[in-house]
Amino acid sequence: MRVVFMGNPQFALPTLTALLSSQHDVVGIVSNPPKPMGRGRKLKSTAIGQFAKENDLNLLQSSTLISDELHNQLSVLNPDVFVVVAFQILPKSLIDLPKFGALNLHASLLPKYRGAGPIQWSLMNGDKTSGITVFQIMPSVDTGDILLQEKMDIFPKDNMLTLGTRLSTIGANLVVNALDGIEAGSLQPIIQNNNHATKAPKITKEMTIINWSWAADKIHNWVRGLSPYPGMSTTWKGKRMRIFNTRVVDEGVILGDGIVFKADSEEIFVDTGEHLLAFSEIQLEGKKRMSVSDFMKGNNLQTGDKLGE
């Protein structure tokens, strides 16, 4: 089939490469235009945009999807289907353009975790399993008929990056299988049960601030879900710092929420609403991420210090 692929970040790249290696014909790629990034505000392409340029693929970039120019460019390609991975919400005019509409790869077992942050929220909620879904796009976000799904275990040490990487790899093959099934007429779409739907809203800045009155396991899961980016942060002596590589220490110490129980050469232990939270990596505001060992060489954090004020 003639496929137009739409995507932006690294998560979408395995699907694009799988499509390029399949029997299907990728006739066009749509990605967001380059944006100014970093201190130098240099223009940086999306991962998909960069890949398309490096491989001389037919790349279309538009600041808006509600564009007669983009619509005409896509119409000329005569696509059978759009494949959308980590992109934007498509207007109905684009959904209706291809013969077989538009498919989306979503990083959850829909109808669970509809929304922008399914990987993050599955980890933040401490789930033991996750999965990936290929579904037919409808104007209402993440509500279309399910074409294929695959379940996956979440490992105790998974974070957003490791889980996302595995999901994107499995999802790439699932998308190709879905296209094969559409072409063969062998798929049996399943209507989503809205009674089982849950939401995975976009992560806000306020969500990334550690509440030390939470139980250690909840903080630990939120750190996993938001690592490596944007990270969960707290403050120490007025300085903002992110923490990584956390673990729960089952000790009944009562010092007070956010009070440092111990700081050694490997980890910092902090009292929470329940149990201790230990972490082995820190990123001070304006600095690079570093081990606690390196941090302690130049900073006098000690027992009794309070984090989060």
Task: Tell me the per-residue pLDDT of 177-219, one tens digit each, with 9 for 90 and over.
Answer: 999 999 999 999 999 999 999 999 999 999 999 999 999 999 9
> 123: closest CA among 154, 82, 83, 81?
154
DSSP label at residue 203: P
pLDDT computed for residue 37 by the predictor: 84
Pairing state between β 25-31 and 59-61: parallel
pLDDT computed for residue 91 by the predictor: 96
| 28-52 confidence digits (pLDDT tens) | 999 999 998 877 788 999 999 999 9
Structure tokens at 80: 């059978």
- 2-196 and 205-298, same CATH topology: no
pLDDT computed for residue 211 by the predictor: 98
8 Å CB contact between 115 and 199: yes
pLDDT computed for residue 266 by the predictor: 95
pLDDT computed for residue 40 by the predictor: 78
Q: Model-level pTM? A: 0.95
Angle at 291 between CA 288 and CA 293, to 5 degrees: 130
Mark the ranges of the chain whose per-residue pLDDT is less than 70. Answer: none
Handedness of CA 184, 170, 20, 68 (dihedral sign): positive
> What CATH architecture does domain 205-298 belong to?
Roll (3.10)
8 Å CB contact between 284 and 239: yes
pLDDT computed for residue 38 by the predictor: 77
Q: What are the residues whose beta carbons fall under 8 Å from the beta carbon of 217, sequence distance 6 or more?
A: 126, 248, 274, 275
> What CATH architecture does domain 2-196 belong to?
3-Layer(aba) Sandwich (3.40)
Domain extent listing, the chain: 2-196, 205-298
Q: How many helices (H) and strands (E) does the chain have?
A: 8, 15
How many Å apart are CA 283 and CA 291, to the nearest integer? Answer: 9
Give bridge partners of residue 148 from the DSSP assignment: 134
pLDDT computed for residue 70 by the predictor: 96
Angle at 198 between CA 229 and CA 16, to 5 degrees: 55
Structure tokens at 222: 């939120």
